[in-house]
Amino acid sequence: PGSLLSISDLSLEDVASILESADELEAEPAIRRAERLFKRRVSLLFYESSTRTRTSFELAAKALGADTSLVSAQSSSIEKGESLKDTGITLRALGAECIILRSPFSGSPYLLAQETGLPVLNAGDGMHEHPSQALLDLRTILQRLEKNGKVSDKLLDGVTVTICGDIFHSRVARSNALLLPRLGARVLLCGPTPLLPETAAGMSHNVSIERDFDKALEQSQVVMMLRIQKERLAGLSVDLEQYTSRYQANAERIAAHAPKAVIMHPGPMIRGLEITSEVADGPQSGIEQQVKNGVAIRMALVLRAVGEAAKTGKGKGR
Ligand code: CP
């Protein structure tokens, strides 16, 4: 209970409740908010580098009054070969009531949750999922498109979201492609052959492939650009010059094909490759709003995880 391992764990009611909780927590006076999880213990376990997710989860837990501790691969006994299971059990023995895990290994949050019995929040696992990112992306889309209605399978009816770039390696693309169609959005996946599967088989009927970026842009109210993940490209041949000419979000292309679309990027972005500075910093960009929404969404997730842990007697509520 309280874990978030995959975005598919959440019903639409859960999504609505997390969005409402994020609104409520963001609006609450800081002094009252800090009483919510006063002195409760939240551990961040990061086996992979992160700027946005790590900082925003930490700020979120602290804003709720929790004590946080960070274990990162480079400065811990993980370097000496300690396993995920033993690291998790150690954190539990030190009083952790919830573990936030980023890992290069797909599925590792499931193992950690099973071995520790603690609520685990998946902060990105390999090429699998990044569910908190999908939730903060959803909040950003709803704000930018002024969709203020009740969360339902029709809230994003008529909205097309293009996700463009390295779809194959992207946990952000996967979590968004699982979540957005459930609210009625159509998702177009766009990118070159080695970075995007031949078909969208196995995905929602509302997910399809459009390899022509300009055509995808013309249909879209929202465009999510993805980073080329050079660290995961091993064995795949991608001509970056050709990639840039066909798939870069630059001012000329956006003005011609999507002059009103909201442009998003989960970060980190490589300016001059998948996106230019003019677009990233321009009026259509929702990128900073995404980062800010990370704190509100993650406050809701930490509260849900630690609060529920106390209710069910798991964790060590004090
Ligand atoms: N969006 C995202 O996961 O960024 P970080 O890798 O900086 O956390």
Q: What is the interface pTM, i.e. ipTM, of the complex?
A: 0.98
Same domain as 78, residue 43: yes
Same domain as 305, residue 284: no
Same domain as 297, residue 209: no
Same domain as 99, residue 48: yes
**Residue at 2 is within a domain:** no
With bands split at pLDDT 50, 70 and 90, how would you rate the model's confidence at 232? low
Q: What pLDDT score does 77 carry?
A: 82
Beta strand spans in 156-286 (E): 160-164, 186-190, 207-209, 222-225, 262-264
Q: Tell me the one-letter amino acid at 20.
A: E
What's the 130 CA to ligand 1 centre distance in angstroms? 9
Nearest ligand 1 atom, CA 124: 3
Extract the annotated binding site: 52-53, 80, 102, 130, 133, 171, 227, 267-268
Q: What pLDDT score does 237 carry?
A: 75
Nearest ligand 1 atom, CA 51: 7
Same domain as 151, residue 244: yes
107 by Cβ neighbours in 10 Å (0-12 / 13-18 / 19+) ranks as middle
Same domain as 163, residue 97: no
Q: What pLDDT score does 302 carry?
A: 98
Extract the annotated binding site for L-aspartate: 80, 171, 227
Q: What pLDDT score does 76 carry?
A: 79
Q: What pLDDT score does 310 carry?
A: 54
Six-digit token string for 41: 């213990």
Same domain as 38, residue 113: yes
53 by Cβ neighbours in 10 Å (0-12 / 13-18 / 19+) ranks as buried
**Residue at 317 is within a domain:** no
Q: What is the CATH number of the domain that holds 271?
A: 3.40.50.1370
Same domain as 284, residue 183: yes
Domain range enclosing 155: 131-289
Six-digit token string for 216: 């995808």
Same domain as 36, residue 177: no
Six-digit token string for 242: 């050709």
Total number of domains constituting the chain: 2
- Give the tens place of pLDDT for each residue, 278-301: 999 999 999 999 999 999 999 999
Answer yes or no: is the C-beta of 52 below 6 A from any ligand 1 atom: yes
Same domain as 136, residue 230: yes
**Residue at 318 is within a domain:** no
- Give the tens place of pLDDT for each residue, 95-153: 999 999 999 999 999 999 999 999 999 999 999 999 999 999 999 999 999 999 999 99
